[in-house]
Amino acid sequence: MADKTYLDLRIRKTRKAIRNAFIDLLAEKELNKISINAITLKAEINRATFYLHYKDINDLIDSILDDLLADLKKILIDKFEESYKPGDELTSLILLLEHIAENSHMYKVLLVTKNIPYFTPKLMDLLYELILTTTEQQSIQKTEDFLTVDTPSDIAAWYGTSAIIGTISMWLGNDMPYTPKYLAERIIQLNPFIPANNKKI
């Protein structure tokens, strides 16, 4: 049992080194200019070790994105499959931003440099699913300062997804000048599709 635990830890440590090396290189250059040799050199492993874990760079990318999106799904979606109550969207948004802050180097590379262009659409799909779930479970209307207008949930989800992704990208690009909690509260307050009684912070 001890041997298996040691092996698992060693595997995780090696994969983390490979992924960190890849992300560091991605921050410096375009994807098509990154080689396996450069990754192994930066991770301080040999090519044979790389191939023990990944078939090629595309397999490495798929693994990184799958793990990130699985983490995000656990934070954002799973909770709402169990139950929903007003105010949960703020809690989930804070958890999302805290997760991104803890992994800011990786997310900055993926969202700001856009050197892996298909990450953002995958993240947008996940957020769209979350926002659509919440907007379908609450009354969607403009704030009480405007005329009450019913808004189709898909339009609200399109708007919310684009606004959140854009705001997070700018936040990361400016070195996160606000805390995750503060930013989450401001995003909720600015969202015109959340009823006013759900915006109280």
| Topology alike, domains 1-54 and 63-198 | no
pLDDT digits (tens, 9 = 90+) for 96-128: 999 999 999 999 999 888 778 788 898 898 888
Tokens (6 digits) for 34: 């990154």
pLDDT digits (tens, 9 = 90+) for 1-20: 556 676 688 889 999 999 99
pTM: 0.78
Tokens (6 digits) for 165: 């992704």
The CATH class given to the 1-54 domain equals mainly alpha
Burial class (CB in 10 A: 0-12, 13-18, 19+), 127: buried
Cα 127–Cα 139–Cα 135 angle in degrees, nearest 5: 10
pLDDT for 136: 61
Spell out, as residue ranges, where the chain has pLDDT lower than 50: 139-149, 197
| Rounded Cα–Cα distance for residues 16 and 18 (Å) | 5
The CATH class given to the 63-198 domain equals mainly alpha
Tokens (6 digits) for 113: 């440099």
DSSP string, 143-161: -TTS------HHHHHHHHH
Residue spans per domain, the chain:
1-54, 63-198
| Rounded Cα–Cα distance for residues 163 and 170 (Å) | 11
